[in-house]
Amino acid sequence: MAYRLIGFSAATDGSSKITDLLTDFSGRLVQDAAFQPADITVHTLSHIENDLRSARFRSELEGQARGALLDCEAAEALVIAASVKAYRGYPGLLKHLIDMADLELLRRKPIVVLAIGPVSSATRHARLELRLLFRSVGATNVRLIGAPHTQFKQLMSEDPGFFRAFNELQTDLAVSASAAKQTQLRPVRVA
């Protein structure tokens, strides 16, 4: 069974830099053998915005928004990437999507918030907007990483804090992925 990592790019203005960084970040995150085979899907909020805004209830979701919700619930981990400059309502869109999700499926799921922009602004923005959003639904495993650039290679070579946070995150996710595989392989005994 493939390790499912689902990404949400808060590029509501159609910017591909955030989506590109998220795709690269996610791909490198699951390079470890513990994640293989890996299945990565990245949803861009600008693509699901209309379907999401028109739905008041889960049963009214259509098209890509419905697929995004189902992916969110089925994922082993979520990665949310957002620029500190993107203010066009993406926290509200994410909240709307999460409100329609089965919260039990989200509570124990690892959630990574990748905030892009000047480090102090990115950290503050992610804590105030995105981290609190997931804490409000009872998510217990929320990690925050600030990214001052949108180029992954530049981040890994120039920012020791990002490099350290990325490696710690990769190790933590690999441990939980290995534990999940062991749980799935355990034989079932019938009394």
* CATH number of the domain encompassing residue 44: 3.40.50.360
User: Is 190 contained in some domain?
Assistant: no
pLDDT tens string 134-181: 766 677 777 777 777 667 778 777 778 788 888 888 888 888 777 666
Q: What pLDDT, on the 0 to 100 scale, is given for residue 121?
A: 66
* Residue 90: alpha-carbon gap to chain centroid: 14
Q: What pLDDT, on the 0 to 100 scale, is given for residue 120?
A: 66
- Range of 131's domain? 3-185
User: Is 36 contained in some domain?
Assistant: yes
pLDDT more than 70, % of the chain:
75
What sign has the CA pseudo-torsion 162, 41, 72, 35? negative
Arithmetic mean of pLDDT over the chain? 79
Beta carbons of 26 and 78 less than 8 angstroms apart: no
Q: Count of domains in the chain? A: 1
User: Is 63 contained in some domain?
Assistant: yes
Read off the tokens for 74. Answer: 């089925």
Across residues 11-34, what is the average pLDDT? Answer: 79
Q: What is the pTM of this model?
A: 0.81
Residue type at position 115: A
pLDDT tens string 50-61: 899 899 999 999
User: Is 30 contained in some domain?
Assistant: yes
Q: What is the dihedral of CA 115, 24, 80, 120, to 10 degrees?
A: -10
Q: Residue 65 and residue 45: Cα distance in Å, rounded? A: 9
Read off the tokens for 180. Answer: 């999940």
pLDDT exceeds 50 at position 185: no
The larger pLDDT score, comparing residue 84 to residue 19, is at: 19
Q: What pLDDT, on the 0 to 100 scale, is given for residue 67?
A: 94
User: Is 74 contained in some domain?
Assistant: yes
SS3 76: coil
